[in-house]
Chains A and B, each alone.
Chain A
């Protein structure tokens, strides 16, 4: 009996021991399983993050990234369906992947729940009609009637903005614990972070490119392969005359280019054939453009080892200025040809009269012929000399032979030369010298004489009878105010000097020719020393110049390292001056 009890006890003890072991083993197993699960989750987490990292490298497409996540999600969570809903450009993209077959109502239920949570997250109403639905995986079976029993949502956030919702759902109840949700949430967060920071990089790069494109004088338009405008700078907007229109499309370009350039056709050609294009000059809204069209290629190459074309760029390069220089050149040439032909053909006609009508010519006519031939040939000689001088100056062949010169002597000499013609037109011509001038200045005498000739003859031409032409010579000291220096002369200029031109001017001789003529329009002053420009206003005496005189003045003075200038006031007079530095 005792034995029995003992044996029973033993047996019980044995059982309890074995139960103890069984329990102990079970606990260890649970810990082990948990450990295993943990490791597998961590592995999954690492694997998915690695894959994300690899793929994100060349994809910023959020949808693509979420696809990667959900494709391998079943490795660690059990579900009937995983789905996401994303804000697409036009519609909401609702994609559901079924691990197991479900009823259509299950799908609709999930969709409606997701719509609801997205509405709540974004504080915006969404309609079923806004949804583009994609179902993949297992098939829908109408006979199955299990509803959604387990369900959880994770918001998809990129750059602090909600872009969609991810949902895991099952027909079994009580499936999802906090732990699983946390892991998935962490993965999504990691992916979001990666995308956000990558988007940041892309944004910075884009901002750099945009800043460059924005400030470009050339018009730049970039489109994708469907001719949707991706980049458009202010210059391009201005070119087609839509500086403020909010969204510009390729059709705005087609309309506003008015058939002058087939932008769509050229883009198509460029994108399809992967070939650049360059246009001839195209006139768009008063300006001339050369238009370039390039395909835009990706860095990656496709299977055929070709770079994929992702769009096209159109660049409008303004060539109006170059064209106008070309036009001015042509006008200049035709002006010179005309000015040479006229006196020569005049002389030719007079000689024809002399040849054909010897016996009939009266003395009075004969004298007139001689005067005309003389005037025409003189004018032509002047023009030919001017053209040759300009050519020399341009070619850098104008030789400055500097020698120590008494400036007073040179100016006095010119004054004597012009005195008779000044008297003829009843003009007062005088010179006023500074009290202390250097006795000798190193200049090219012939050159400076020519400068004075041109300035004085211009002043005489453009001043009415009883007016005056003054030549003023001043010794300018560095740092001194030019108008104060001129104020010490016993003469007053009608127009003051431009003081700003003399800031930082070294010690120099300043020669000014001041007249009481008609004055020059401010708009014409800037082109005055340009050889291609000849003012149309005729001189007071009706004498016409070649229009090259001032360009020659500028050339000779600059060959002395000096500078020229002019100030003028309509109805008051003009002051032309040149500065020769002393060192």
Chain B
């Protein structure tokens, strides 16, 4: 069973995506900010991370920098799921090595989970 870490401060998105992923038999771990996400990334060793950008304490991009610095050669695939459409944030994410960038409001749970499946298969 693949394990997915969802790092997002939006309770509704947490609930919706975890329900959908569990229906598809993924194991879901939740974190509500970057700091919590960082410790769960270490302890839970997820197969993939869904990462929001605008979050308290440690935002998504800062989280990503710390994660990449911490994990050494091991690279957990990360898909950014955010409601920010700023091109700066996207290109900064790309430079830090991400599998994809999903604008949450533009995609259904169905299309998001399809992207997750695709990312896990490559």
Contacts and interface: CB of A to CB of B under 8 A. Distances in A.
Contact of A345 (B20, B83, B110): B83
A345 B105 CA distance: 5
Contacts of A356: 110
Contacts of B76: none
A372 B56 contact: no
Contact of B19 (A343, A346, A353, A373): A353
Interface stretch (A16-24, A222-230, A334-342, A396-404): A334-342
Contacts of B16: 346, 349-350, 352-353
Nearest to B56: A538
B116 to A, nearest CB: 14
A346 B16 CA distance: 8
B13 A349 contact: yes
Nearest to A360: B23
B3 interface: no
B43 interface: no
Contacts of B10: 342, 346
Interface in A348-398: 348-350, 352-353, 356-357, 360, 365, 368-369, 372-373, 375-376
Contacts of B13: 342, 345-346, 349
A345 B15 contact: no
A347 B15 CA distance: 11
A283 interface: no
A344 interface: yes
Interface in B75-122: 83-86, 104-105, 108-110
Given A353-B20, A357-B23, A538-B56, A342 B83 contact: yes
Given A353-B109, A365-B19, A346 B84 contact: no
A235 to B, nearest CB: 32
A341 B104 contact: yes
Given A372-B11, A372-B15, A349 B109 contact: yes
Given A350-B12, A372-B15, A538-B56, A341 B83 contact: yes
Interface of B: 10-13, 15-17, 19-20, 23, 54, 56, 83-86, 104-105, 108-110
27 contacts: A334-B84, A334-B85, A337-B83, A337-B85, A338-B54, A338-B83, A338-B84, A341-B105, A342-B83, A344-B105, A345-B13, A346-B10, A346-B12, A349-B12, A349-B17, A350-B16, A352-B16, A352-B108, A352-B109, A353-B19, A357-B19, A365-B19, A368-B15, A373-B12, A375-B11, A375-B12, A376-B12
